[in-house]
Structure 1
């Protein structure tokens, strides 16, 4: 049996103000093409179907279209909810949708109710594959229902896994077990587009919690990664932050037989417009031919010019029209022991010193004689105006 492990679709997400719905429709085509080409038996979606609890109509219609196309292809899908989803809304109609091959696992009550598939389609009465779903578990909300104390990500996930192990123990020998879980398992690598499940990594759960399962399909981290041979994150199908610029997006194709986990291999889904992170002085970025391949990319640019260039974004977009993020880090920035702006303000001896300190702070160089002259005239004008009132 072949499973396609995906997660973190984040349907409806924008990327620095740019809508991603067209890119997500393209991903849907890639997903369905992979299902057909690889003869996938079951699609797994380990949480964060949507980017928000209340997705708009176009986003819901896209998800509906994906489910309809999978149904037409005769391929079931097992879905858990993530921390971006509303578990209640996503799970609505789940018992009816089961009949169409859409298996939703968003409720505590369904933790130990697996979706069952025959490992060999030609032997429906033979060994089975049991797919369990652990949705994102908010400790404060579910600890009581799970008798998990103290309320923590570890305690509630451990309680959920115990329920699964108890159900699995009562099933026929040879039953393979796959667990979907939307969580932060220790050993993973975070990226900026994920919302922390807990502050300071406290929410991480240890990998050995999933020991003994045939395969664990994780969601939440957006980089595809292997934490163990049978414990993996598929990552998101599209990049959702510039920290993911080096990621190759895709999924895991998982093959399970009566003998256990046979093979796990990557499936890549190239993005239409890659991400690039550029750094340098504005004249060099605009002229250097080494950046030619980046001209059609979404770009995050850090300018290191000593003085902040005028109309920097407009100039950059003459060569890199898809620049979305612009930052400034002058090379002549003061040493770490330089005074903070608040220290400069408190130490200013007069208005001119205060104004010059501000210029020094934002430009990383002091005001020259000409600029100080302009500031003196401006301050004198203000004083004269105040005196005339």
Structure 2
């Protein structure tokens, strides 16, 4: 059996205020073509289908179009809900979907497989929707579930019980933060809570393959436990992470091989660092005019209308940051402490300039002008 493992579509997410719907539709179209070209039997979507619990109408349209296109290839589809999804909204139409498309959102179904046969016999797919301990402990009141790790461990115990009852090959699908992953800072949110919500790798022992979602970059935790990541870049922190899916082959005895299938990137992401003039150099403009650009300019002083100037050369500049050279190496004393220790007006003015200029005090010419102004003030006050 040939399986495609994808996850974290986040339909409806914006990128710095810009809709990603068209770009995602392009990428998902390429994924459908891969399913057709590689004769995939089953497509797994491991959670976070939508970016919001209340997706807009176009998000439902894109999901429906993609599921229909996958179904038309002849592949079966198994979808689980993630922490961004509303399980109720994602699952309400499950009974209305055409045969061969399975949407797993009910925690009470954990341990009950979706069974799909091939020439070597049945393969049992155990979908685990995202399980929020506070919401699902009512279903298992005796389990004492307080953390994500405890909840996922209980769910996998149910999966292993199902494996014992049904026999044959098995695949588990879950959406969580597993131990050993490299997360994108500030992006994979909500399934966090420090070490309490990190699920140990040993929890996933048993199935022939474990398809995980939640982390946006591909991750291989073991030969049989992997994250596919998101099909589209959703932050500059992801710009160096490949986009794609895992192609898994199961033979009669279990996992046979796993291959990475890369997906196209509709628009590259790039971070440019330097002075504003350096970032706006002809070479940069030629190389990155069509890219999403994050500009980090290092001029000592803030520049006038940097975003406007950047957009004139980089129409898709999405982000600008002012990070002065040496800004992290400011004096240990706070501005208030420098003012307190200053004796003369010149020292007080210089402390102020250092504070607002990221450590850059008055230049020699500025010091001369400051002294002249102060001398004039003293002279004027002498005649009052």
Please, what TM-score do these two structures have when normalized by structure 1? Answer: 0.87
More divergent stretch after superposition (228-237 vs 288-297): 288-297
8 Å CA contact retained: 1:277, 1:301: yes
Cα deviation for residue 59 of structure 1 reads 1.0
The alignment status of 1:177 with 2:176, answered yes or no, reads no
Q: After the TM superposition, which segments of 4 or more aligned residues of structure 1 sit over 4 Å from their partners?
A: 341-359, 369-376
Judged with a 3 Å threshold, the aligned counterparts in structure 2 of structure 1 residues 68 and 373 are, in CA distance, closer, same or farther, namely: farther
8 Å CA contact retained: 2:30, 2:264: no
DSSP 3-state at the match of 1:4 = strand
RMSD, aligned α-carbons: 2.5
Residue-by-residue CA offset, 1:95-114 (whole Å, 9 max, x unaligned): 343x5222111111111111
The alignment status of 1:159 with 2:154, answered yes or no, reads yes
8 Å CA contact retained: 2:236, 2:269: yes
Name the residue aligned to 1:220: 214
Counterpart CA distance in 2 for 1:39 and 1:205 is: 33
DSSP 3-state at the match of 1:156 = helix
Cα deviation for residue 65 of structure 1 reads 0.8
Judged with a 3 Å threshold, the aligned counterparts in structure 2 of structure 1 residues 78 and 306 are, in CA distance, closer, same or farther, namely: same
Counterpart CA distance in 1 for 2:230 and 2:113 is: 24
Cα deviation for residue 350 of structure 1 reads 11
Cα deviation for residue 359 of structure 1 reads 4.4
Judged with a 3 Å threshold, the aligned counterparts in structure 2 of structure 1 residues 181 and 300 are, in CA distance, closer, same or farther, namely: same
Cα deviation for residue 143 of structure 1 reads 2.5
Residue-by-residue CA offset, 1:183-238 (whole Å, 9 max, x unaligned): 01101110032214122243110111111210000000000111100000000000
Counterpart CA distance in 2 for 1:330 and 1:320 is: 21
Name the residue aligned to 1:387: none
Please, what TM-score do these two structures have when normalized by structure 2? Answer: 0.88
Unaligned stretches of 5+ residues in structure 2? 375-384
Unaligned stretches of 5+ residues in structure 1? 121-125, 377-389
The alignment status of 1:79 with 2:72, answered yes or no, reads no
DSSP 3-state at the match of 1:170 = helix
Cα deviation for residue 317 of structure 1 reads 2.5
Judged with a 3 Å threshold, the aligned counterparts in structure 2 of structure 1 residues 352 and 200 are, in CA distance, closer, same or farther, namely: farther
Name the residue aligned to 2:265: 271
Residue-by-residue CA offset, 1:119-141 (whole Å, 9 max, x unaligned): 32xxxxx6210001111111121
8 Å CA contact retained: 1:248, 1:270: no
Name the residue aligned to 2:66: 66
Cα deviation for residue 358 of structure 1 reads 5.0
Aligned residues: 369
Identify the match of residue 311 of structure 1 among 305, 316, 326.
305
Matches within 5 A, 1:350-361: 357-361=351-355
